[in-house]
Structure 1
Amino acid sequence: MFWIICAALVGVVAVAIAAPLLRRQGEGAEPAAAYDLRIYRDQLREVERDLERGVVDTADAERLRVEIGRKVLAADRALQRSAGGARSSGGWAAVAVLAVLLGGAFLVYQRLGQPDRPDAPIAQRIADAQDLYDNRPSQSDAEAQAPKPLRPPPDAEYLALIERLREAVKANPNDLRGLELLAGHEERLGNMAAAKDAQRRLVALRGEQASSDDLGRLAALTIEAAGGIITQDGEKAVAQALARDARNPQARFMMGLLHLQNGRPDRAFPIWAGLLAEGPETAPWIVPIRGSIQDLAWLAGHPDYVPPEPAQGLPGPDAAAMAAAQDMTPEEREQMIEGMVKGLEARLATQGGTAEEWGRLISSLPLIGQKDHATDILAEARRLFAEDPAGLEQIEAAASQAGVE
């Protein structure tokens, strides 16, 4: 039945395309040159009538006869060419091309398609997903195959400072602040495996004092080091982060990604839909969720799902964050601001943003003691907005106000 319906549809489409092409070759079709020839002959007769009525004199009538006569000869030659050759075969040629295309499509489908493949029942799909989940690569294998992230080459002075930091951490392996700094700077250099190892040691030293954010960061670095694949090590870190805080949005995003990587959109959809509904729109996971949530909803069996409208305006702390900041110590408030700035930088680096957002990042970095880094960001923003004068003006204004050159 399926093939009968397909053949009928192809036949209807082929007839609809071919009929107008063949109709042009019918006996009633008249070349344009024949129509022009009739018009010119009527004009010659009109000149004779005007001459008899005295509307034009003999000289003007002769001039008009010569001019119209040239047009008559040109039209007559065009008509002879049309009639002398075989009747236009354009319609039949088009029909032949259409037949070749249809036949070629059928042959390609027979070769590359799978018309006899039966539908996979839900139980089989779940079994295939479980098999995919069970046969994930190990962390070491994934790290060995992961592509190196592209980073601008650091200057020699910065590399020397990082080398000193590595030596200091090696000499004092229980230095929590040193491990925290090392994890951040190794990530900045693109050394994801080293950053992951430093964060893992930091979490181990903190023990029960390690926060859900510490574990979420370990999970993120583990996944990045594996080239985006959530291995058993990455899944373990995600589970630990959720065990400390079941509402941790970063860990929930990664859990949804785990299900998606292993063929379970039905499990990934409710997690990502919840994150999208909660926001905020500035969170780095919102953009990838918003870009794929409708396809994910369809795969998960929710074709009528309508994602919430994005919030308007520039990124910023919500009311809850502002209220919480009032009760923080200066050190805690500084850490919160630093986290927001890092989040904005990560989003702009991976997803891009407006000139206003780049200017905001440039003006924020000096506030957390990273004026040199703001200079690097300014150079990158100038490159990105080189062909956008209005955007470049916004960026330069923000840099000037922050004292960044």
Structure 2
Amino acid sequence: MFWIVCAALTGVVAMAIAAPLLRRQGPGAEPTAAYDLRVYRDQLREVERDLERGVIDLADAERLRVEIGRKVLAADRALERSGSTLRATGGWAALAVLAVLLGGAFLIYQRIGQPERPDAPIAQRIAQAQELYDSRPSQAEAEADAPQRPRPEADADYAALIERLREAVKKNPNDPRGLELLAEHEERLGNVIAAKDAQRRLVALRGDDVSADELARLAGLTIEAAGGIITSEGEDAVARALARDARNPQARFMVGLLHLQNGRPDRAFPIWAGLLAEGPESAPWIAAIRGSIGDLAWFAGHPDYTPPESAAALPGPDADTMSAAADMTPEEREQMIEGMVKGLETRLANQGGTPEEWARLISSLPMIGQKDHAADVLGEARKVFASDPAALELIEAAAQQAGLE
């Protein structure tokens, strides 16, 4: 049934495109110049009738005859040049191009599409995603199949220093600073597996004192060593990082990536949308999120989602204001910032604004000592964007960043 509908729609569109191309073609078709010539001759007869009725005088009639006569001669010459078949060759050539495009589209779909894949209800898709998740390769298998990364050429002095560092870590394996440096420089040399192993030993050495950032770094190296695949070992490192700090942005980014790799864009979207709303724009994961969030929103069932503008695109103080702020006392600078925040609040109250602007106001008010008022603005924003789930996600992310419940 699907193919019948597609074929019918394609045929209708092809006919709509072809009809103007073939219209008035063939030996009996009237050229445009012949139509123009008939119109000009009718105009000459109209001039004679106006002259007989006294609508125009003899001088005007003569002027009109000369002007229309020039047009008649030009149309007659065009008729002689064009002959009796116009646009036939061009029309058929256009039809040939149309046929090539339709045939090419069909062949390309047959090659890279999935014409035999049946539609699947949401429950089946979730089951397939779970099957994909359960069938992930092990870390060792993923590392063995990972493509070889190009390694930067290290100069002799730097290579000698790294070799000395390796020897020092071997002699003193419980030195956290040595392991930290080894993981950093092995990664810099492109030895990701060695960097991962050094970071894993560092995490084990830290024990209960390990930080969320160190665990997130281990997760990143584990994923990179596996060629980008988040194996169960990488997932475990991510989970441990989030157990230390549930708001760790790098670990949350990797959770979203895990859901994407296993066919759950509905779970990945709110995580990445929240990270994009929180920023900062300089964070290494923001560029990856911004480049794919539009498609991700569509697959997740949020086609109306509008990503927040980058920090550079949001209105803020200009160069003159920033220059003047440098010469202000701390009290004057606080007054200036408060005035800007209040100006934004007034504009949103009177004219409305984007979810990004509301989020910025919510996160700015606590910075000027008005956290309680920020909670009031949060309640108002929730009412304004009650019917927009994507906007509410941005608002809630700003509220969490501002420390609001």
TM-score (norm 2): 0.60
Structure 1 distance, partners of 2:178, 2:87, is: 87
Deviations 1:21-60 (A, max 9, x none): 323534244498xx9xxxxxxxxxxxxxxxxxxxxxxxxx
The alignment status of 1:253 with 2:253, answered yes or no, reads: yes
Change (3 A) 1:221 1:80: closer
Structure 1 distance, partners of 2:171, 2:276, is: 45
Q: Which residue type is aligned with residue 17 of structure 2?
A: I
Deviations 1:159-203 (A, max 9, x none): 001001100100111111111111111011010100111111111
Change (3 A) 1:159 1:127: same
Q: Secondary structure at the match of 2:308?
A: coil
How do 1:5-404 and structure 2 match up within 5 A? 5-23=5-23, 25-26=25-26, 27-30=28-31, 89-92=89-92, 94-95=94-95, 98-99=98-99, 102=102, 105=105, 117-312=117-312
Structure 1 distance, partners of 2:110, 2:153, is: 51
Contact 2:22 2:88 in 1 (8 A): no
Contact 1:250 1:285 in 2 (8 A): yes
Change (3 A) 1:197 1:13: same
Instruction: Report % sequence identity.
Output: 76
- Structure 1 residue 227: deviation in Å? 1.2
Q: Which residue type is aligned with residue 22 of structure 1?
A: L
Contact 1:24 1:91 in 2 (8 A): no
- Structure 1 residue 301: deviation in Å? 1.2
- Structure 1 residue 16: deviation in Å? 2.7
Change (3 A) 1:153 1:14: same
- Structure 1 residue 15: deviation in Å? 2.4
Deviations 1:266-315 (A, max 9, x none): 111111111111111111111101111121111111112111111018xx
- Structure 1 residue 146: deviation in Å? 1.8
Structure 2 distance, partners of 1:112, 1:182, is: 45
Structure 2 distance, partners of 1:19, 1:294, is: 37
Contact 2:223 2:230 in 1 (8 A): yes
Aligned to 1:360: none
Q: Which residue type is aligned with residue 20 of structure 2?
A: P
Which is worse superposed, 121-130 or 99-108? 99-108
Structure 2 distance, partners of 1:183, 1:82, is: 81
- Structure 1 residue 144: deviation in Å? 1.6
Structure 2 distance, partners of 1:274, 1:168, is: 43
Structure 2 distance, partners of 1:193, 1:210, is: 21
Contact 1:182 1:198 in 2 (8 A): yes
Q: Which residue type is aligned with residue 298 of structure 2?
A: W
Structure 2 distance, partners of 1:218, 1:311, is: 30
Q: Which residue type is aligned with residue 305 of structure 1?
A: Y
Structure 2 residue runs of 5 or longer lacking an equivalent are 37-76, 314-405
Change (3 A) 1:154 1:119: same
Q: Which residue type is aligned with residue 121 of structure 1?
A: P
Contact 2:152 2:190 in 1 (8 A): no
Structure 2 distance, partners of 1:242, 1:87, is: 69
Q: Secondary structure at the match of 1:302?
A: coil
- Structure 1 residue 127: deviation in Å? 1.0
Q: Which residue type is aligned with residue 170 of structure 2?
A: K
Structure 1 distance, partners of 2:110, 2:196, is: 48
Q: Secondary structure at the match of 2:158?
A: helix
Structure 2 distance, partners of 1:81, 1:242, is: 78
Change (3 A) 1:226 1:82: same
- Structure 1 residue 96: deviation in Å? 5.0
Aligned to 1:50: none
Contact 1:212 1:244 in 2 (8 A): yes
TM-score (norm 1): 0.60
Q: Secondary structure at the match of 2:284?
A: coil
Structure 2 distance, partners of 1:161, 1:110, is: 56
Structure 2 distance, partners of 1:104, 1:180, is: 56
Q: Which residue type is aligned with residue 294 of structure 1?
A: G
- Structure 1 residue 262: deviation in Å? 0.7
Q: Secondary structure at the match of 2:247?
A: coil
Structure 2 distance, partners of 1:99, 1:187, is: 54
Contact 1:31 1:79 in 2 (8 A): no
- Structure 1 residue 109: deviation in Å? 5.3
Structure 1 distance, partners of 2:147, 2:100, is: 44
Deviations 1:372-398 (A, max 9, x none): xxxxxxxxxxxxxxxxxxxxxxxxxxx
- Structure 1 residue 228: deviation in Å? 1.0
Structure 1 distance, partners of 2:152, 2:303, is: 43
Contact 1:223 1:229 in 2 (8 A): yes
Q: Secondary structure at the match of 1:127?
A: helix
Structure 2 distance, partners of 1:143, 1:87, is: 63
Structure 1 distance, partners of 2:100, 2:190, is: 53
Aligned to 1:46: none
Q: Which residue type is aligned with residue 217 of structure 2?
A: R
Structure 1 distance, partners of 2:162, 2:252, is: 32
- Structure 1 residue 93: deviation in Å? 5.1
Aligned CA RMSD, in angstroms, stands at 3.4
Q: Which residue type is aligned with residue 230 of structure 2?
A: I
- Structure 1 residue 91: deviation in Å? 3.5
Contact 1:151 1:189 in 2 (8 A): yes
Aligned to 1:47: none
Q: Which residue type is aligned with residue 304 of structure 2?
A: D
Structure 2 distance, partners of 1:170, 1:289, is: 40
Bigger RCO of structures 1 and 2 (CA < 8 A, at least 6 apart): 2
Structure 2 distance, partners of 1:87, 1:136, is: 61
